[in-house]
Amino acid sequence: MTTSTALDARLGRPERLTALADGVYAIAITLLAIDIKLPDGLDPAEYRRQLHDLVPEVGAYALSFVVLAAFWRDHHRLFLNVRRVDGLVIRLTLLGLGVAALLPFPTSLIAEYGDEPSAVTIYSAAVAVLGSVQLTLLLVVWKRPWLQAEPLPDRLAHAYLTDLAATVVIFAATAPLSFLIGSRAVWGWLLMIPVKFLSGRWSRSASGSTL
């Protein structure tokens, strides 16, 4: 058995892993909206009050939808260039999917108890952990060229790493900050808007694509 054949025997194809990721993210996004509903038989005044009370839940849903969609997009974008996966890639992917599947729980905490620092902390920590796993996965694939269809250019890898690192730092910083200034710490998440815009322009410039 040649070295190349022996290596291929220890590696697997990425299709089943990406299909699993697509399914987990789709289910997690669906679960975000499952509790957004109104009771039956409301009179007009109660209907308006209950509808107003749903605003935090809809806001939490929108936030987590954007977060999960961004992480799914980054995972999909990374795996477009992966031709083989090894045990470490599989374990990191499963860890990330486990955290993504858990995100509906901290989302419900933010919706129901958004004024509680612990709710903000739990949500921030969950997103920071998911970002950290995704960041580690990117580093592993980048540093293992034999897993890639084509070597990932350093400039493009740096753009992706910067984008993920910014996400981790912003959400990780919010966790302790929430105990100092309360729920106002969530306004720090708005920093993601210019960060994503700038990193998106950088990655498109580095890749020459519109991904």
**How confident is the model over 108-133, as pLDDT tens digits?**
999 898 888 899 999 999 999 999 99
Residue 7 lies in a domain: no
Residue 117 lies in a domain: yes
pLDDT at 188 over 80: no
Mean pLDDT of the residues in the chain: 85
Q: Give the integer Cα–Cα distance in Å for 112 and 53.
A: 10
Residue 193 lies in a domain: yes
- Residues in contact with 96: Cβ distance below 8 Å, sequence separation at least 6, in sequence order: 71, 75, 130, 133, 134, 137
Ranking 112-121, 158-167, 174-183 by mean pLDDT, the lowest is: 174-183
Residue 67 lies in a domain: yes
> What token pair was written down for 42?
């409301």
pLDDT at 155 over 50: yes
**pLDDT at position 3:** 47
Residue 171 lies in a domain: yes
Residue 18 lies in a domain: yes
pLDDT at 92 over 70: yes
**Total tally of structural domains belonging to the chain:** 1
Residue 124: closest CA among 74, 178, 73: 178
Residue 5 lies in a domain: no
**pLDDT at position 211:** 40
Residue 2 lies in a domain: no
| pLDDT per residue as tens digits for the range 16-43 | 999 999 999 999 999 998 878 877 777 7
Q: Which residue range forms the structural domain that includes residue 19?
A: 12-207
Q: Give the integer Cα–Cα distance in Å for 151 and 167.
A: 25
Q: What integer is the mean pLDDT of 151-169? A: 86
The total of other beta-carbon atoms located within 10 Å of residue 137's CB is 23
